């Protein structure tokens, strides 16, 4: 059956989607096959630009766009070949926002070109929806299986930190968000202050495992407020003040303790708000996703708190938490199943709040 004859909305028919992601500093392509209620990842290719941006201590938008341009064709080719070739595809999904507009445009143009040349339906999806729906991918090492509805999701990445309530894959509402830095940004900025390089999250995670989380006391961000918003810029300032007074500690001489203390402050805050949101919304399922959800301290603390509260926790494997195209493929499946389509006039959106 050709795509033209096939009703993509019919859940009894398998749907195979090529997805392209280029919103920040990863060029990614994946093929996801939705059949019999199971979303299988046929291929999942991620080309990281970390080495290009590392000398600058953060993502340089212009360099990101150029690197996406170089990588997008080989990355897409590899993902399609690994999934069985162009003929297995029923549709093309692409991250249309939010993100760096110049970076997004590369993926959007590539996806449009492929859809047009192959006569395939095209759909633009929200990057944040991709992160939130990542636990629906059938993946080894996923924790907790597929979430039930309603669920509360904590999305913590380098660009975003927010809590959402999901009543259905297409019905998602924001409950609270960061007022300044994202949690991943806090990890990155602290790592920069400590001379640990970019991106900071994985390094702080590794060092924190060797340190005492109670060695340095930092004030809990937004303490005493029972709203669901976040703020992490104060913590970054507190660490800056700490190292201005005492200098940057060396490995084996306090660096691990400082990393463990910073990580604990961030993690405690994220977990406390996640559980508060579950209570307030009466949700028995919780999801953590986004790059920071790869953090071992966060995974452990969320598992413990959810178990104590009787909330089922669902966490994608680390590979599906950091930016990837498989999650965009599943968000594409959801959009296409709901009857959404985009035309060749699809454009990139730098901002695109989820639920709008
Ligand atoms: O989701 P992601 O790959 O990209 C965005 O959409 O932003 O998240 C990247 C962020 C970076 O700030 C990085 O430092 C952080 O996720 N991150 C971590 C860990 N792995 C990545 N933060 C803490 N612990 C980790 N293990
Ligand atoms: Zn992301």
Residue 1 in this model has a pLDDT that exceeds 60: no
In this prediction, residue 220 carries a pLDDT of: 85
Ligand number nearest to the C-alpha of 266: 1
pLDDT for the residue numbered 99: 97
Contact 46, 317 (CB under 8 A): no
Q: Whose CA is nearest to atom 7 of ligand 1?
A: 158
Q: Is the peptide bond before 150 cis (omega within 30 degrees of 0)?
A: yes
Closest ligand, as measured to the CA of 300: 1
User: What's the pLDDT at 109?
Assistant: 98
- Any idea which residue has 């360099």 for tokens? 63
Mean pLDDT of all residues in 275-288: 98
Q: Residue 267: what pLDDT? A: 98
| 197-213: pLDDT as tens digits | 999 999 999 999 999 99
Which of the pair, 2 or 192, is modelled with greater confidence?
192
Q: What percent of the chain has pLDDT over 70?
A: 98
Note the pLDDT of residue 229.
Answer: 96
pLDDT at 133: 97
- Does pLDDT of 223 surpass 90? no
d(CA 170, CA 192): 38
Q: Which atom of ligand 1 is closest in space to residue 23's alpha carbon?
A: 6
Mean pLDDT of 260-268: 98
Residue 15 has pLDDT above 70, yes or no: yes
Average pLDDT, stretch 28-43?
96
343 φ, ψ (degrees, to nearest 5): -95, -175
pLDDT digits (tens, 9 = 90+) for 140-155: 999 999 999 999 999 9
Nearest CA to ligand 1 atom 2: 291
Q: Confidence class of residue 51 from pLDDT cuts 50, 70 and 90?
A: very high
pLDDT > 90? residue 58:
no
Which of 57, 157, 317 has most ligand 1 atoms within 8 Å of its beta carbon, as the pocket-test mutant?
157
Closest ligand (CA of 128) = 2
What's residue 5's pLDDT? 56
- Global pTM reads 0.95
Residues with CB under 6 Å of ligand 1 are 24, 157-159, 184-185, 187-188, 199-202, 205, 290-292, 294-295, 322-323
Residue 290: per-residue pLDDT:
96
Task: Give yes or no for residue 57 having a pLDDT over 90.
Answer: no
Confidence of residue 355 (pLDDT cuts 50, 70, 90): confident
What is the pLDDT confidence band of residue 222, given thresholds at 50, 70 and 90? confident
Q: Is the model's pLDDT at 3 over the cut of 80?
A: no
The mean per-residue pLDDT over the stretch 296-300 comes to 97
For residues 159-188, average pLDDT = 96
Q: Residue 62 C-alpha to ligand 2 middle, in angstroms?
A: 18
The mean of the pLDDT values for the chain is 95
Nearest to 59 by CA among 99, 111, 28, 106: 99
Over 90: is that where the pLDDT of 250 sits? yes
Residue 356 above 90 pLDDT?
A: no
């Amino acid at each position: 059956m050709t795509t033209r004859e096939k009703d993509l909305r019919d859940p009894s028919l398998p749907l195979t989607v090529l997805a392209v992601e280029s919103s920040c500093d990863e060029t990614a392509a994946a093929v996801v096959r939705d059949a019999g209620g199971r979303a299988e990842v046929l291929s999942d290719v991620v080309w990281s630009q970390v080495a290009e941006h590392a000398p600058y201590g953060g993502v340089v938008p212009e360099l990101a766009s150029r690197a996406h341009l170089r990588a997008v064709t080989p990355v897409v080719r590899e993902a399609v070949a690994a999934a069985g070739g162009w003929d297995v595809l029923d549709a093309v999904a692409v991250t249309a926002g939010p993100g760096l507009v110049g970076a997004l445009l590369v993926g959007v143009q590539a996806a449009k070109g492929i859809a047009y040349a192959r006569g395939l339906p095209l759909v633009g999806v929200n990057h944040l929806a991709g992160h939130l729906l990542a636990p629906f991918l059938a993946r080894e090492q996923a924790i907790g299986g597929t979430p039930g509805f309603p669920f509360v999701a904590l999305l913590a990445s380098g660009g975003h930190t927010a809590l959402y309530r999901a009543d259905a894959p297409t019905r998602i509402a924001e409950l609270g968000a960061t007022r300044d830095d994202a949690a991943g940004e806090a990890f990155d900025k602290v790592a920069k202050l400590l001379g640990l390089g970019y991106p900071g999250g994985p390094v702080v995670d590794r060092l924190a495992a060797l340190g005492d989380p109670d060695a340095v006391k930092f004030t809990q961000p937004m303490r005493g407020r029972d709203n669901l918003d976040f703020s992490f810029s104060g913590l970054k300032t507190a660490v800056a003040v700490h190292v201005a007074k005492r200098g940057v500690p060396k490995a084996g001489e306090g660096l691990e303790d400082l990393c463990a203390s910073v990580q604990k402050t961030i993690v405690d805050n994220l977990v406390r708000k996640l559980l508060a949101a579950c209570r307030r919304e009466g949700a028995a399922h919780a999801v953590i996703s986004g790059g920071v959800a790869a953090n071992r301290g966060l995974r452990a603390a969320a598992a413990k708190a959810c178990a104590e509260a009787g909330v089922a926790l669902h966490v994608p494997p680390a590979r599906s938490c950091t930016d990837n195209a498989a999650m965009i493929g599943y968000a594409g499946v959801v959009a296409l199943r709901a009857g959404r389509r985009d035309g060749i006039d699809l454009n990139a959106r730098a901002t695109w709040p989820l639920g709008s």
